[in-house]
Amino acid sequence: MTGAPPTPEVALGARPATTYAAGSAAFTVVLSMAIAATALAIDSLLPAFPEIREHLGLAPGSTAVAGLVTAFLVGNGLGLVPAGLLADRFGRRQVMWGGLALYVLGAVGSVFAPTLGTMLVARFVWGLGAAGPRVAAMAIVRDVYSGDQMARQMSLIMSVFILVPTVAPALGAGLIAIGPWHLVFWLCAVAGALVLVASLRLPSTIAPEDLRTLSLTDIWGGWKIVLTTPGTLGYLTGLTVLFGAFLSYLASSEIIVDEVFGLEKWFPLIFGALAAVMGVAMFVNGRIVMAVGLDRLIWLAMVAYVASTATLLVVALATGGEPPFWLFVVAVCAVLAAHSALIPNLNAAAMRPLGHVAGSAAAIFGMAPTVVGALLGAVVDAAFDGTITPMAIAFLASGAIGLTAVRQAAAAYRRAS
């Protein structure tokens, strides 16, 4: 099944000439860039950390600026629930438009923030706005696709989206080279405005009968469907621990490259190259999921993730947490490749039976991994001891917990089916 677009306009092709057709290249790119706004707001900022530390009067090695990532992610996670409810009530596009407008407002507010505390508040608002396009895009994909085809589309969207981290650090570094760090924030504000304009041409995809009210009965009924559907909690647990380990990698990558390997000037290139590995893995995943099958591919990727994280920890312990840079890159590439195959597939697997509450489902499956994952990642960041060992331990722990949770989820889904 390739998915059944729920509105007559999409199904019959009787849409305005200015509207992107569901499933078209333009449709996929706009959804990708709507989600990529989150990555841009994080990754473009990383090279600016030294300048922001200096501007705010922080010590050169201070990890306090990592709070700019955490504040954004917490705001993003907390914004997902209301975004999901509104997407099921008023439609996907309206939530995307409102979220992107708030995204731009948060970016501009960060430019003029005079203190770290004020900037953290602005970043929280910025992340809150990013929740809208994230939920809307995932709900639109579920509206239009199902099953393995949905997993393929999610991988394609995320492989396009992952191109942003490959260039964002370089863009940030380039802007800092020619001007103040504020230019990085302005880049995000302009990008958010451009995506907002492009998203005005997305089609409506929610079925009229799937529109829900904002009554407590309807809200709780939707959440209950999501949380009690067989397999949901298992997939949610797997996503949360995997995302927590990944967020720790994002937040600590700059200081690891600098303090462990002494390659601060090369950070944008290194980070971009590792992000490119993830993009390629997601693109390949989109190609093979149709042949291998969603459930089998999840299991193979989960086993590969555990094996690669165990290898990374062995490397860390054998070298006192300071391995040769080339060995670190090889080990991390294997971890990130397996991770890239898991995130879109786990999302697709969890969303399979939840098409009639796609907005709420997208919100819950975004909120828990982001908020809990950000907090878990902050714990790992605080444990940084000048080596890669804490990060390696976090990766392996997430793999072990994720493997158990996903196995139970798959069994529950099969029994229910």
Side-chain half-sphere exposure of 265, counting CA atoms within 13 A: 1
C-alpha separations of 361 from 88, 348, 357 in Å: 10, 11, 6
- Written as six digits, the tokens of 406 are 């996903």
Q: pLDDT tens digits for 110-141?
A: 888 888 888 899 999 999 999 999 889 888 88
- The answer to whether the pTM exceeds 0.85 is no
Q: Return d(Cα 382, Cα 207) in angstroms, integer.
A: 46
- Among 370, 33, 378, 29, smallest CA distance to 188 is for 33
| Superfamily the domain 21-201+213-416 falls into | MFS general substrate transporter like domains (1.20.1250.20)
Alpha-helical regions (H) of 21-146: 25-43, 49-56, 67-90, 92-111, 116-144
> Which stretches in the chain have pLDDT values below 50?
1-17
Q: Return d(Cα 86, Cα 96) in angstroms, integer.
A: 10
C-alpha separations of 32 from 199, 273, 359 in Å: 11, 20, 17
Query: Which amino acid is it at 119?
Result: M
Instruction: Show Cβ contacts of residue 221 under 8 Å, excluding neighbours closer than 6 positions.
Output: none
Residue-wise burial string across 314-334, b where 16 or more C-beta atoms lie within 10 A, e elsewhere: ebbeeeebebeeeebbebbbb
The reported pLDDT for the residue numbered 165 is 65
Secondary structure percentages of the chain, helix, strand, coil, to 5: 80, 0, 20
The reported pLDDT for the residue numbered 7 is 39
Q: Return d(Cα 197, Cα 209) in angstroms, integer.
A: 28
Q: Are 359 and 141 in contact (CB under 8 A)?
A: no
Domain ranges of the chain: 21-201+213-416
Q: Are 219 and 85 in contact (CB under 8 A)?
A: yes
- Among 32, 196, 176, 36, smallest CA distance to 104 is for 196
